[in-house]
Chain A
């Protein structure tokens, strides 16, 4: 049974990771609402991501409640399940707020009304890759009606009330003191993460962190420095080649 329990814990963690991923993607999509990135496709992406999040939420809740209800688990196990429970409920809180906000913003920015303009935020690309990540597919296929921006809002309202109800039930039925949970990660744990930063992001960062005196010089400075290095190396190599050539000629 300990093997079964270990499997149960791993399963739980995988499902939580999935829920976490979908929540993060959903937030990213909601941020694009109302801006120039907004489109029919975005609305459909939001709808499908949301539904996936809800499925995962229900699955997680069932699993975790069954694990927590088991009285025969050890103290360590119980502490771990409580930690997972806190992860789950925090995810749900984020999801609930984002759903409510997407309803609000969705209502304020209907897509079909010609006099309602979208906010020119500078974001013009599509969010299809983010949605694909959330749905764990390679490419998104869009098959919704053209009035999704208004029709979906009614569904959204129902789903919000469902989620709120679920969270209230969770509060009532599961007796977990969240403040008693101790996190496994220390401060600055994410600094040790091996997430590849990559050169492109560094360039992006230097643009974002630019100060007024530098303006575009931040990015330029990095590029200039690299080019100066390259030129120096080139000259060194040429000098070495010339010297060697001279010696060879002299020797023969």
Chain B
């Protein structure tokens, strides 16, 4: 059997999410009242006259009066009703917007009202497209033709039924009088504009997943109703702290959020121009100003951005403390990597960073080192967590501050670009839409990443070279390559000593 309507209410699973639909229906019924409802007028066409047409300004005025709101609010409300499909435009049927002038609209019949309980079936859409083919050849638009071909392919087993039913429905519709026939065609067409929107528009019925709670049911009282003054002082202070942090976060990131402010040069989802993405690729030569600004917000931001990390790595290389970052990256690789290679990775990290006399020895305190070495006897993903946290905090408190004042960073800031905002006309936007191409395949991106990582691993660190040389038999290594000292303070002195040379 074909897979039938799967949205059966198995007790608790399915709940309506769009509470607005029931409310809109009540409102629609109020609008029908001959005395207090919306004023309707006949629509005069060439051949015939069809009653019950309403003007945009009338609906908006009625709504503003009914809810005692201003015209703009009423207009937003009505545009939602039109987008959902309760009212459809008679002219310019592809654009479901409300025009506050004498443009005509009509109410949709209850069968075609938007509803979540009856999912929109592809079979019905196929029948509709076949009916339009029957009525007039070559009438299907490009996106409808594409839908038609796709449906014919995957619904092929039902195609005989689709054609038969389309013919019968067409004949049944012809039985009615001309005005009713016109109305029916307009209704059906409006229904499918809502549920299979033309490209460049979004269906208002695209509501995502079904929720577990029914917003139309009686509200749960009790927990949700307790007011702020009943909270304990501790809870209250925590609330304040959280809200303050939230406010700070929002104010910091507000200008960087593409939803809240313009993203430069233009939002690719809106203008179909992918410059924004190509300028913000993970390993781009010259980053954008906004990106560089984000690196100053927090150390985590800097590290999570691959370009920022590259910059930071460059800075650390100049300071000869690149092993910290390399160790941190190794730990991340261990945490998120495959289980099969975990053991080897852990051993490699130990040999490179933690063992006595390791080529890239990192400076962590004695207790952490003890814990880590003990844990490495039975390595697991998180065995290096304490050491990683220690190094992370070290970098954050020490190197990060100096990085921001360093010439490397200042140079990057100077070179960062701030692209001009695009201003596209409607015609150019359509051109852009036609030129849309898929982006690089993720497989290729991953290969590029791996190549880069291999290149970096091949890049020999100067300390590694020197320490190798020192192992090759020189008796007393030069002073600046003395075995790294365990104490953090001594380490700082050692660096100063180097600088003096």
Closest CB in chain A relative to B68 CB, distance in Å: 22
Does A120 contact B157, Cβ atoms closer than 8 Å? no
Cα distance A74–B156 when bound, in Å?
23
A interface residues, how many (CB within 8 angstroms) = 83
Does B47 contact A203, Cβ atoms closer than 8 Å? yes
Does A183 contact B52, Cβ atoms closer than 8 Å? no
Chain A proximity mask over B410-445: 1 for CB below 8 Å, otherwise 0:
000000000000000000000000000000000000
Does A97 contact B172, Cβ atoms closer than 8 Å? no
Chain B proximity mask over A117-160: 1 for CB below 8 Å, otherwise 0:
11111111101011011100000000000000000000000000
Assess whether B53 is interfacial by the CB under 8 Å rule.
yes
Assess whether A36 is interfacial by the CB under 8 Å rule.
yes
Assess whether B178 is interfacial by the CB under 8 Å rule.
yes
Does B157 contact A86, Cβ atoms closer than 8 Å? yes
Assess whether A62 is interfacial by the CB under 8 Å rule.
no
Assess whether A248 is interfacial by the CB under 8 Å rule.
no
Q: Which of A50-58, A213-221, A227-235, A237-245 contacts B (4 or more CB under 8 A)?
A: A213-221
Closest CB in chain A relative to B342 CB, distance in Å: 44
Does B118 contact A101, Cβ atoms closer than 8 Å? yes
Q: A117-B37, A204-B178 are in contact. Are A190 and B130 (CB under 8 A)?
A: yes
Closest CB in chain B relative to A99 CB, distance in Å: 12
Assess whether A187 is interfacial by the CB under 8 Å rule.
yes
Does A119 contact B109, Cβ atoms closer than 8 Å? yes
Assess whether B177 is interfacial by the CB under 8 Å rule.
yes
Report, nearest first, the 3 A-B pairs whose CB atoms are least far apart.
A219-B46, A24-B168, A34-B110
Chain B positions within 8 Å of A90 at CB level = 2, 123, 158, 161, 165
> Which has the most chain A C-beta neighbours within 10 Å: B1, B44, B106, B149?
B1
Assess whether A33 is interfacial by the CB under 8 Å rule.
yes
Cα distance A228–B380 when bound, in Å?
89
A-B contact pairs, 22 of them (CB 8 A): A31-B184, A33-B111, A34-B110, A37-B180, A87-B164, A90-B123, A93-B2, A93-B4, A94-B165, A119-B32, A123-B180, A123-B183, A125-B179, A171-B1, A183-B160, A185-B159, A195-B167, A197-B136, A204-B185, A205-B136, A207-B47, A223-B46
Chain B proximity mask over A1-20: 1 for CB below 8 Å, otherwise 0:
00000000000000001001
Assess whether A60 is interfacial by the CB under 8 Å rule.
no
Which single residue of chain A is at the shortest CB-CB distance from B111?
A31
Cα distance A28–B109 when bound, in Å?
12
Does B32 contact A118, Cβ atoms closer than 8 Å? yes
Closest CB in chain B relative to A110 CB, distance in Å: 12
Q: A31-B109, A34-B110, A170-B1 are in contact. Are A187 and B149 (CB under 8 A)?
A: yes
Kindly identify, within residues 104 to 152 of chain B, every residue whose CB is under 8 Å from any CB belonging to chain A.
Answer: 106-112, 117-118, 121, 123, 130, 133-137, 139, 148-149, 152
Assess whether B496 is interfacial by the CB under 8 Å rule.
no
B interface residues, how many (CB within 8 angstroms) = 75
Assess whether A48 is interfacial by the CB under 8 Å rule.
no
Does B175 contact A129, Cβ atoms closer than 8 Å? yes
Does A31 contact B118, Cβ atoms closer than 8 Å? no
Kindly identify, within residues 60 to 105 of chain A, every residue whose CB is under 8 Å from any CB belonging to chain B.
Answer: 83, 86-87, 89-91, 93-94, 97, 101, 104-105
Q: A121-B183, A125-B179 are in contact. Are A86 and B161 (CB under 8 A)?
A: yes
Does A208 contact B185, Cβ atoms closer than 8 Å? yes
Chain B positions within 8 Å of A31 at CB level = 109, 111-112, 184, 187
Chain A positions within 8 Å of B156 at CB level = 182-183
Residues of B bordering A, CB below 8 Å: 1-2, 4-5, 28-29, 32-34, 37, 40, 43-47, 50-53, 91-92, 106-112, 117-118, 121, 123, 130, 133-137, 139, 148-149, 152, 156-161, 163-187, 189
Closest CB in chain A relative to B52 CB, distance in Å: 4
Does B184 contact A123, Cβ atoms closer than 8 Å? yes
Chain B positions within 8 Å of A134 at CB level = 172
Does B136 contact A127, Cβ atoms closer than 8 Å? no
Residues of A bordering B, CB below 8 Å: 17, 20-21, 23-25, 27-28, 30-37, 83, 86-87, 89-91, 93-94, 97, 101, 104-105, 108-109, 116-125, 127, 129-130, 132-134, 167, 170-171, 176, 178-185, 187-191, 193, 195, 197, 200-205, 207-212, 215-216, 219-220, 223
Does B134 contact A190, Cβ atoms closer than 8 Å? yes
Does B184 contact A119, Cβ atoms closer than 8 Å? no
Chain A positions within 8 Å of B109 at CB level = 31-35, 119, 121, 123
Chain A positions within 8 Å of B28 at CB level = 119
Q: A24-B169, A207-B182, A212-B91 are in contact. Are A185 and B160 (CB under 8 A)?
A: yes
Does B173 contact A28, Cβ atoms closer than 8 Å? yes
Cα distance A182–B5 when bound, in Å?
23
Q: A130 contacts which of B4, B32, B175, B183 (Cβ < 8 Å)?
A: B175
Does A178 contact B4, Cβ atoms closer than 8 Å? no
Chain B positions within 8 Å of A179 at CB level = 157
Q: A190 contacts which of B32, B158, B167, B180 (Cβ < 8 Å)?
A: B167
Closest CB in chain A relative to B148 CB, distance in Å: 7
Does B92 contact A117, Cβ atoms closer than 8 Å? no
Which single residue of chain A is at the shortest CB-CB distance from B152?
A187
